[in-house]
Amino acid sequence: MARLAWLTDIHLNFISPARRQGFHQSVRAVRPDAVLIGGDIGEADSVEGYLWEMEASLAMPIFFVLGNHDFYAGSIASIRARILNQTARSRYLRWLPPTGVVKLSETTALVGHDGWGDGRLGEGPLSDVLLSDFFVIEDLRGLDKLELFHRLNVLGDEAGQYFRRVLPEALDSYANVILLTHVPPFQESCWHEGRISSPDFLPHFTCQAVGEALLEVMDGRPDRHLTVLCGHTHSPGFAQIRDNLVVRTGGAEYGAPVIQDIFEV
């Protein structure tokens, strides 16, 4: 049996070094065997440093995905390359997309991908919401609306295709799978202050491509169970999508990182 601590949207750049150490101590205090981090760890100039710091402080496996904030003031390709290099040199850090299927116990596996708000649900490209992402992430800056939403579609499709490939592999060997991602994959899991996000924000806070992939896979495997852990909206919630598919969305507050939950699998 493995004991897991789930964190998401911890935004460590908003707290002092002393408070970061206090947060690490709170994680150690629950005595997990491993930590799951659902993205938004820092920003492009700090995410690697925070990961090294957590590895040194926790000294246990840390499985993580990246969130949109982790690319702020950088490019998607360059940050991914740096994180890939970092995890190749690390004892405990494991970025989930290149890691593939992770055995947690005899019955449970872990898979994960960063995901992205792919611009499709709600009002889709009719939305006039402007995220900071569109000004501070190199790949999204300076694009007209058509180009921007095409780029968001491509990022979402990349995540959806990943899960179409990796999730069936996990389900072939394990009765239960935990899927870690940053962006909620369904409208029903896109919580904001106790309600589902409004149609103008839904395109940027859900990944329809991932949701479609998960339904496709899980509808064909009624004998298996999938639990999705996501964040991004900073508001907690639970959604039962299918009998064998549930989504837990983590809450968050800038400057106050918390443990979302402890799992034993």
Structural domain count, the chain: 1
**What pLDDT shows up at residue 149?**
98
Rg (CA), the chain: 17
Query: How confident is the prediction for the chain on average, in pLDDT?
Result: 98
Mind listing the pLDDT tens digit for each residue in 81-108? 999 999 999 999 999 999 999 999 999 9
Are the C-beta atoms of 246 and 261 separated by less than 8 Å?
A: no
Instruction: Report the pLDDT averaged over residues 185-199.
Output: 96
Are the C-beta atoms of 139 and 74 separated by less than 8 Å?
A: no
For the record, the structure tokens of 262 come out as 């402890």
Global pTM reads 0.97
Mind listing the pLDDT tens digit for each residue in 214-256? 999 999 999 999 999 999 999 999 999 999 999 999 999 999 9
pLDDT at residue 158 greater than cutoff 80: yes
Helices (H) and strands (E) counted in the chain, each on its own, are 8, 13
Instruction: Report the pLDDT averaged over residues 60-75.
Output: 98
CA–CA distance, 117 with 185 (Å, rounded to integer): 9
Residue appearing with tokens 């549930």: 246
Q: What is the CATH number of the domain that holds 136?
A: 3.60.21.10
Instruction: Report the pLDDT averaged over residues 136-161.
Output: 98
Q: Give the single-character DSSP code of 70.
A: G
**What pLDDT shows up at residue 35?**
98
pLDDT at residue 4 greater than cutoff 90: yes
Query: Percentage of residues in the chain with pLDDT exceeding 70?
Result: 100
For the record, the structure tokens of 170 come out as 């996990």
Mind listing the pLDDT tens digit for each residue in 205-215? 999 999 999 99
Structural domain for 131, as ranges: 3-264
pLDDT at residue 1 greater than cutoff 80: no
Instruction: Report the pLDDT averaged over residues 185-195.
Output: 96
**What pLDDT shows up at residue 119?**
98
Instruction: Report the pLDDT averaged over residues 151-161.
Output: 98
